[in-house]
Structure 1
Amino acid sequence: MAVLKKEEMQFELQKSVEILERTPLILEAYLGRLSKDWLKNNEGENTWSPYEILGHLVYGEKTDWMVRVKTILRTSGNKLFEPFDRLAQLKEDQDRPIAELLTDFNVLRTSNLEELRALNISDEDLQLTGIHPEFGEVTLGQLIATWVVHDLGHIGQISRVMAKQYKNEVGPWINYLSVLKR
């Protein structure tokens, strides 16, 4: 039997929103009410714990995604994005309860998606550009697609970090657990 090659899904704003609106629900189900060991352990030096990853997502909701969307949609003025501090969450209070971080993320994401929907972005708008400080010219469509993949990547990262807490406990099954080999 021949295996058909799966085509990549084409970008559609509504399909992107489907993922973006679910991320807070996923993280609440995944991280809410977990013990500190699950939340605060990482993969070693210079890596993030699930708590820190959530803090990074909260910071991005405050300072990155919608700020850049609005920069691109501006009809005049500077289209250069402000640099994003990828480590800003490490400067925040590391003792805030996880429930507060989850609530903050949910509130911020809900507000950002309401604002995104209210912009009534057209297919033509998705081709508008801004200037990323490292990559140069990027489109609104690329920015929103990156927002989605960023969420999915960090959900995967949280899973990997948590899985590695039992790396030494799985014994010979490690050979079948690819998440532990990254």
Structure 2
Amino acid sequence: MAFLTIKTMNFHLDKSIELLARTPQAYKELFTGLQYDWAHINEGANTWNAFDIVGHLIHGEQTDWVPRGRIILGNQADKTFVPFDRFAQEQLSVGKTMDELLEEFDQLRQANLQELKSWNLSPTDLAKTGIHPDLGTVTLQELLATWTIHDMAHLNQISRALVKHYAQDVGPWHQYIRLLKDKQG
């Protein structure tokens, strides 16, 4: 049986877990108890706000990262992932407050990290593969690395939206804030 060689210089599971464990708290620090408007600022039409993003992260905790890891590590012959609905939060978050979403995200993340740690992954485990419906064959390591940066990418997205919210109000300081000068931010 041939094993895929994992080529990486940066991935370390313990470092990923360390960052993934802090993400819910970072979101809580930013948005718990804030006025409604802050969680609903976006970058314009067809973009997400913090409320949308936390709902999206919750859906990912429920259906993406750990469930797909289970598929990769499982004994079933078919390792194909169920397609992920990137917009499920539009229905799943209805009627909830931002504080409720933040707490749900925190609880789900803690449970998922506890399960991830219980797997006691070896390099051989990290090289195991599953089938992504769009991307094809992916390794467990790639899935876990993506989970880690996915959190950071959405934190960046929220930060961009919040920075741009006051773009017209900063006066001459506009020239010093690169995010306000970059067209794509």
Deviates more, 1:169-178 or 1:142-151: 169-178
Please name the residue that 2:123 is paired with: 123
- TM-score normalised according to structure 1 size: 0.92
Q: Which residue of 2 aligns with 1:47?
A: 47
Counterparts of 1:69 and 1:13, CA distance in 2: 13
Within 5 Å, which residues of 2 pair with 1:51-62? 51-62=51-62
2-structure distance, mates of 1:173, 1:32: 29
Pairing 1:70-85 to 2, within 5 Å after superposition: 70-85=70-85
Looking at structure 2, the residues matched to 163 and 38 of structure 1 have their Cα atoms a distance apart, in angstroms, of: 11
CA distance in 2, matches of 1:27, 1:9: 28
Q: Please report how far the alpha carbon of residue 89 of structure 1 lies from its aligned counterpart in structure 2 after TM superposition.
A: 0.7
TM-score in terms of structure 2 length: 0.90
Q: Which residue of 1 aligns with 2:178?
A: 178
Name the structure 2 match of 1:66: 66
Which stretch of structure 1 is more off in the superposition, 103-112 or 33-42?
33-42
Q: How does 1:77-96 map to 2 (within 5 A)?
A: 77-96=77-96
Q: 1:175 Cα shift?
A: 2.0
Identity %: 46
Give the equivalent residue in structure 2 for 1:23: 23
Q: Which runs of 5+ in 1 are unaligned?
A: 1-7
Q: Deviations over 1:108-136 (max 9, x none)?
A: 00000000011111111000000111111
One-letter amino acid of the counterpart of residue 19, structure 1: L
Tell me which stretches of 4 or more aligned residues in structure 1 moved more than 2 Å: 92-95
Q: CA deviation at 1:9?
A: 5.2
Q: Could you tell me how far apart the structure 2 residues matched to 1:138 and 1:92 are?
A: 28
Aligned pair count? 175
Distance 2:52 2:9 in 1: 31
* Secondary structure at the counterpart of residue 124 of structure 1: helix
Q: Return 84-93 or 47-56, whichever deviates more.
A: 84-93
**Aligned-residue CA RMSD in angstroms?**
1.3
| Code of the aligned partner of 1:90 | E
Letter of the 2:138 partner, please give it. V
Correspondence list, 1:4-15, <5 A: 10-15=10-15
